[in-house]
Structure 1
Amino acid sequence: MGTDRMGTDLERFLEDLGLKQFYREKLPLSKILEINKKTIDDEPPKYKSDLPWYFLKKLMMVNVTARKIKCTSASESNRDDPLGIDDIDFDFLDSPNEDETLNPLDIITALFLCSDGFVQQELALKMSMCQFSVPLLLPNSDTKQCTLMLWAMRDIVRKYRPPDLLQSKGFREERITASELPMVSFVRFGECSLSKSEMLNKFLSTSQQYHDTFVHHNMECGDRLKTISSGLTEITWCLPCGNTNMDIFSEPVAIANLRGDIASFETQFSFLCQTSAAVFVFFDQLDSECKLLTNKNHKAQIFLVGNQQDKNFRVDPVKKLATSLALTKNNILIKTKQMNDADFVKQLRDRVNSVVNNSQYKMSVEKMADIAQDLGIMVDENSEECQAGKRLADAITAEIQDTLKYKEQQLPLQGQIWKELTLLEKETFRLQKSWF
């Protein structure tokens, strides 16, 4: 399906957001950093076309409420006015007006699709600073293709304390795209009554602090139907700081989350099965002959996560599929009728912990690029714009390396001169140094 055809879902959506002009001529960084009346005023958005700019403004300020975006209608702004019972319009009970609310994931997807590579880097960096999940595979609902966002994540640097640095109190600081980490992915098969993303937020939150890393159904506007973000695969990182009260895992791990049914997004699912140490499949109802799970040459461990509390749940297909996949008891997690969310999350953590501690399969986002290309997934860094930027960056860093090498070569000579100075000259030098 070509992007030239008028009236596609993506084009209509971008037109509603006022972003259609940036779909081909990408949004530059200068536009985002522009200071005008809208950026100074703190008025809530009134129209759909205000939503992306409101989100951008909040995100550039590293405001963790950036994803809480919806239009404020005139009726909402006047809802506190005292009214008699005869003055109230009850029509909203029959047909509530939801036209002006959008799923935050759609707005994020639209902005990444309409931004140039440098804006995408800024978006990804600021989102990671807010502890939001970041796009790993960005879908395009028109072309039915997705893109690995390697270049977009290049600026993200994270600092953590692995177990081998606990005694020295040191930290390891790395570009996240180059970090060799085990990745654990979470996907959905068919309809699922259990909110995968909400469970992941509980899973990633400590007992002291809850944080919505992933947008979920019970968040503001999170229940709105997704228009262009189905197939979006997000990534976040769970990195230890050396404090046992705060660390969920002692080892660093990447967490990926696929939006949508894997039956509709087989390419993304295949990518995750080849890049992850483990893939957790959430479901209500399973087909014992599920070819999607049995016919793939998975490098990842497969875990089945079911919800017995759903009326469609059946045990027999789970047993047959588990036998077909040669799964152990540890690879099956069922939320029983007696199990609450806290117990379920604890068991989920135990399963992931066993993967992180025992799996030797680690991969950086850089190395994922080869797998992506083999599956027909585009890589943003392969664009001419990114390649030109990379060549310039390499040229600049090469000059820096040459300067450092020159300074290193001069050190022995400087050391010899220093040795030949008299005691009085050395003391004079120290005094002069302290003056400036």
Structure 2
Amino acid sequence: MMLDYRARYIPVQQESSDVNNSQAVPVSDSAVTDDDDLDALFTTNIDIEQSKENHVHPMDVQMAAFHFSDSFLKQKMITKLSQCQYALPLLVPDPLTSNIDCPLWTFRQLTKTWKISTTKENATTVTMKSMPIYKAETPMVSFFRLGSMSLSKSQLMNALINNRHDTFFHRNCKGSTKSRHLMDGVAEIAWYCPAGKDNDFFTDCIAFCNLHGDSLANVKQREILTEMSSVIVVLVPTLDKSQESTAVIYMLYKSSKPLIILIADNECSAVHMEPQKYKLGLKERSQTNVSEELKKIIKSLLSGPHTSFRLETMADVSVVKVDENQKICQNGKSAAMKIIELIEGMNVAKIKDKFLPCQGQLWSNWCKINKELHHLKGHIEKEKAQKTHQLMKLREKQCKASNSKLMKLFTHSLQSLPPKEREYFLTWTQILIVALSTDDLSSILQNYDETWSEVLVLKKKHDKSYKLKHKQTELELLSKKLQSATFGLEHIFREMGQIYEAHQTLRKLSLSRQPDWTKYPELAADLMISGHPMELMDGDAGHVPLIWISSLLKEVINKLGDQRVFVLSVLGVQSSGKSTMLNAMFGLQFTVSAGRCTKGAYMQLVKLSEEIKDKYKFDYILVVDTEGLRALELAGNATLHHDNELATFVVGLGNMTLINIFGENPAEMQDVLQIVVQAFMRMKKVKLSPSCVFVHQNVTDITAAEKNMDGKRRLQEKLDKMAQLAAKEEVCDVECFSDVIAFDVQKDVKYFAQLWEGSPPMAPPNPGYSESVQELKSIILSKKTLTDSPPISEIQELKSRLSSKNK
């Protein structure tokens, strides 16, 4: 869950009643004398009990955890394994029944992104593709062996996919043992995703499937893979008609499937025997040499007509038991499909206008007038009455529009389904919505990515020309287009909030044909307690729906009691890795990708286990993720005003705020520090005293103490300077940053290594990054042991205070 791929190699010892007395090295049981010491040296008489392996095979540990997890934990496990660039179980023999299971459900939340580079008339075009992997139609190259082999098939496959990372666990990996119990017969899958560069192994996304164990003993799995594959690669110890494997090889050779036979005891180079049939010797040849030849052959075979594989088609294989066929899962899917049938075939950009009308222009206008209400000029009483009347009229319009069929279906399912079915319903709804909008979003994101890169280049050149303004305008239009086309569960929850606020403001009871809005806070509280993130600040309107949030937290208190909560918030520039850091720290699933993905602020409850509650003096952590400061599509005063409002709210809300700084750009750092210091200054004025830790990410050498000391000194100087400037603006008596907030530059500044170990999309997370995140988490929690955390009710009151100060 912490994105540290080394967890796979942690040795797990077998239980033994005699562990303390066991010897690390087996001792010969031969009696050695002066005359026969040489005989003792060459004896093989070792105590069998002593020579037994004393730890469990790492993949047995992984599969045991997988077998004993429920569907949702399995889904999270597979998502994290995929992020670590590890292979995923596709076909899994049930240890009890020997049925072949396909955990299709676990793949549903995986999205893969890749870039295809094509050259035409000396011009290279790079096209980005991003989609749920279960929908992707790709070639599949399957590997299996017939008989025993001294060569590692998995290691050879790693050389084809990523020669710097062990995608498939193999016999030479750390912690491997001779025996394994839960991996034989398991077929794992991994995808090669090109980066659109000259050094890509392959030019398009390819699925690689690896059947573990002897395929002569795993006939069902071998036949399934043979049917599904675009190319089959078979490893054999020898090619001999007398071998047991001959019948299988003959059948594969006569089939229409492209086939590559790798022969362990043969020295021959690649031989093209018949159309789409090759053999290649492995004897006395380096793995590099073999993998290069294999790449060429596979490329050649896939350059012509070939079959494609789509993960979703596994549900049609009769001999496979698919996890999604469970009744509880199907009930959740059926409820979700009722919503999808409403919006299927529609222009994605029009869905929110039609089915979620309360949060669009009506809510945006309400927020605008509400801000004006707090900055009245001229005839104040008259203007106040006019603005209040306008607000009420907008609420009336929201009430009239609050009867969409989508919201009726959604809230009915939330209320009527049992907890487990409700969880399936929510997950299915999100999965199916994402699938609907994939193509539209992929196209917009490609344009956004290209324009964003151009803006960055122009900004680095300090370009003052019309071109920069034009590109920023283009980026703003793309951002609005992206905003319209982005549709997910968070928008449905936002609509629930607006329906509730409108009816609550007008005190209107629901008619029989309207949804029972009074139940909405309770429904949302149940979801928040079970770990769903809830929107705290609407990023589109830039406003906190106080009536909704207060009622939601009140329901949380009713259900949990007034628990002690530590609020951890984060601030930083756009795409600086804030959400990724929080996900790695607490095993959460905040949205992460390039561009401005998080809009506004989201809160998620993390429950502490009973064992550590007393140690840390709080019961829950409320993690607040926020949108990026200095958004590229915003410009000038609008950016500064927006950022100051966001920073003031987030800093005031958190018991501790992580200030996330990415890279070593002094100008960018200055902008962020100015906003942050101003926010802390405002907290001082309203008698709030939050704390902060500066997180400096993507530092090239986090071990260079001297360089880091110099960096800390310069940061302290900048903070002091910013504090003096902010003091003049806020009319405060402040000489340095530590006058504003308790801050120790030696302890409260942390340096993080870069996130990726290599270049995405095939790079795994850097273990050094995971270590830094966990060290930071320990520091955060240890700081909170010194003070008692406030109950939820105080956080509820704080929101109101901050909102009024921030208008």
TM-score normalised according to structure 1 size: 0.67
Aligned mate of 2:236, from 277, 283, 286: 283
CA shift for structure 1 position 361 = 0.7
Q: Does structure 2 retain, via aligned residues, the 8 Å contact 1:274–1:299? A: no
Q: Which amino acid aligns with 2:4?
A: N
Query: Cα gap change, 1:432/1:230 in structure 2, threshold over 3 Å: closer, same or farther?
Result: closer
Alignment of 1:410-425 (within 5 A): none
Q: Does structure 2 retain, via aligned residues, the 8 Å contact 1:70–1:100? A: no
User: Which of 1 and 2 has greater Rg?
Assistant: 2
Query: Cα gap change, 1:353/1:394 in structure 2, threshold over 3 Å: closer, same or farther?
Result: same
Query: Cα gap change, 1:137/1:105 in structure 2, threshold over 3 Å: closer, same or farther?
Result: same
Query: Cα gap change, 1:105/1:392 in structure 2, threshold over 3 Å: closer, same or farther?
Result: farther
Query: Cα gap change, 1:378/1:408 in structure 2, threshold over 3 Å: closer, same or farther?
Result: same
Query: Relative contact order (C-alpha < 8 Å, sep 6+): which is higher?
Result: 1
Q: Does structure 2 retain, via aligned residues, the 8 Å contact 1:190–1:285? A: no
Distance 2:75 2:45 in 1: 42
- Alignment pair present for 1:294 and 2:235: no
2:307 alignment partner in structure 1: 361
What CA deviation, in whole Å up to 9, does each residue of 1:255-282 have, x standing for no partner? 0000011111111011011100011110
1:184 alignment partner in structure 2: 141
Alignment of 1:371-382 (within 5 A): 372-373=317-318, 376-382=319-325
Distance 2:68 2:53 in 1: 22
Q: Secondary structure at the match of 1:65?
A: helix
1:335 alignment partner in structure 2: 282
Distance 1:406 1:368 in 2: 33
Query: Cα gap change, 1:295/1:249 in structure 2, threshold over 3 Å: closer, same or farther?
Result: closer
Distance 2:197 2:21 in 1: 49
CA shift for structure 1 position 336 = 3.7
**Residue segments in structure 1 that go unaligned for 5+ positions in a row:** 1-59, 80-89, 314-318, 415-430
Q: Does structure 2 retain, via aligned residues, the 8 Å contact 1:140–1:228? A: no
CA shift for structure 1 position 109 = 1.9
1:62 alignment partner in structure 2: 3
- Alignment pair present for 1:214 and 2:161: no
Q: Does structure 2 retain, via aligned residues, the 8 Å contact 1:194–1:307? A: yes
Distance 2:240 2:331 in 1: 49
Q: Which amino acid aligns with 1:120?
A: K
1:157 alignment partner in structure 2: 111
2:178 alignment partner in structure 1: 224
What CA deviation, in whole Å up to 9, does each residue of 1:62-111 have, x standing for no partner? 111021021467689999xxxxxxxxxx9997555544311122222222
User: Sequence identity, in percent?
Assistant: 26
CA shift for structure 1 position 399 = 6.9
Q: Which amino acid aligns with 1:158?
A: K
Query: Cα gap change, 1:408/1:286 in structure 2, threshold over 3 Å: closer, same or farther?
Result: same
Distance 1:69 1:76 in 2: 20
Distance 1:76 1:216 in 2: 28
CA shift for structure 1 position 182 = 0.4
CA shift for structure 1 position 352 = 1.6
Q: Does structure 2 retain, via aligned residues, the 8 Å contact 1:184–1:277? A: yes
CA shift for structure 1 position 240 = 0.8
Query: Cα gap change, 1:154/1:406 in structure 2, threshold over 3 Å: closer, same or farther?
Result: closer
Distance 2:128 2:157 in 1: 26
Q: Does structure 1 retain, via aligned residues, the 8 Å contact 2:63–2:183? A: yes
Q: Which amino acid aligns with 2:327?
A: E
CA shift for structure 1 position 112 = 2.0
Q: Does structure 2 retain, via aligned residues, the 8 Å contact 1:308–1:334? A: yes
How many residues align structurally?
337
User: Which has a greater percent of helix?
Assistant: 2
Query: Cα gap change, 1:131/1:92 in structure 2, threshold over 3 Å: closer, same or farther?
Result: farther
Q: Secondary structure at the match of 1:362?
A: coil
CA shift for structure 1 position 160 = 0.5
Q: Does structure 2 retain, via aligned residues, the 8 Å contact 1:273–1:298? A: no
What CA deviation, in whole Å up to 9, does each residue of 1:372-422 have, x standing for no partner? 22xx11111111232233234435556777894362699xxx9xxxxxxxx
Query: Cα gap change, 1:260/1:78 in structure 2, threshold over 3 Å: closer, same or farther?
Result: closer
Query: Cα gap change, 1:175/1:298 in structure 2, threshold over 3 Å: closer, same or farther?
Result: farther
Distance 2:340 2:52 in 1: 51
Distance 1:304 1:174 in 2: 33
Q: Which amino acid aligns with 1:204?
A: I
Q: Secondary structure at the match of 1:161?
A: strand
Query: Cα gap change, 1:280/1:170 in structure 2, threshold over 3 Å: closer, same or farther?
Result: closer
Distance 1:388 1:222 in 2: 42
**Residue segments in structure 2 that go unaligned for 5+ positions in a row:** 14-18, 26-40, 362-635, 643-807
Q: Secondary structure at the match of 2:263?
A: strand
1:17 alignment partner in structure 2: none
2:225 alignment partner in structure 1: 272
Aligned mate of 2:206, from 253, 258, 271: 253
Aligned mate of 1:127, from 61, 81, 84: 81
Query: Cα gap change, 1:71/1:113 in structure 2, threshold over 3 Å: closer, same or farther?
Result: closer
1:41 alignment partner in structure 2: none
- Alignment pair present for 1:113 and 2:60: no
Alignment of 1:7-156 (within 5 A): 60-71=1-12, 95=48, 96=50, 98-156=52-110
Distance 1:242 1:393 in 2: 36
Q: Does structure 2 retain, via aligned residues, the 8 Å contact 1:189–1:283? A: yes
Q: Does structure 2 retain, via aligned residues, the 8 Å contact 1:277–1:359? A: no
2:780 alignment partner in structure 1: none
Q: Does structure 2 retain, via aligned residues, the 8 Å contact 1:151–1:386? A: no
Q: Does structure 2 retain, via aligned residues, the 8 Å contact 1:235–1:254? A: yes
Distance 1:117 1:350 in 2: 40
What CA deviation, in whole Å up to 9, does each residue of 1:220-242 have, x standing for no partner? 22233111221000000001111
Q: Which amino acid aligns with 1:65?
A: R
Query: Cα gap change, 1:261/1:333 in structure 2, threshold over 3 Å: closer, same or farther?
Result: same
Query: Cα gap change, 1:406/1:185 in structure 2, threshold over 3 Å: closer, same or farther?
Result: closer
Distance 1:147 1:327 in 2: 36
What CA deviation, in whole Å up to 9, does each residue of 1:313-350 have, x standing for no partner? 9xxxxx9xx9xxx745961111243x222111111111
Q: Does structure 1 retain, via aligned residues, the 8 Å contact 2:117–2:125? A: no
Query: Cα gap change, 1:122/1:392 in structure 2, threshold over 3 Å: closer, same or farther?
Result: farther
CA shift for structure 1 position 137 = 0.4
Q: Does structure 1 retain, via aligned residues, the 8 Å contact 2:117–2:197? A: no
Query: Cα gap change, 1:406/1:345 in structure 2, threshold over 3 Å: closer, same or farther?
Result: closer
TM-score normalised according to structure 2 size: 0.37
Q: Secondary structure at the match of 1:243?
A: coil
Distance 1:329 1:365 in 2: 24
Distance 1:368 1:298 in 2: 21
Q: Secondary structure at the match of 2:198?
A: coil
Q: Secondary structure at the match of 1:193?
A: coil
1:316 alignment partner in structure 2: none
Aligned mate of 2:328, from 360, 369, 385: 385
Distance 2:240 2:98 in 1: 26
Query: Cα gap change, 1:347/1:74 in structure 2, threshold over 3 Å: closer, same or farther?
Result: farther
Q: Does structure 2 retain, via aligned residues, the 8 Å contact 1:276–1:299? A: no
Q: Does structure 2 retain, via aligned residues, the 8 Å contact 1:101–1:224? A: no
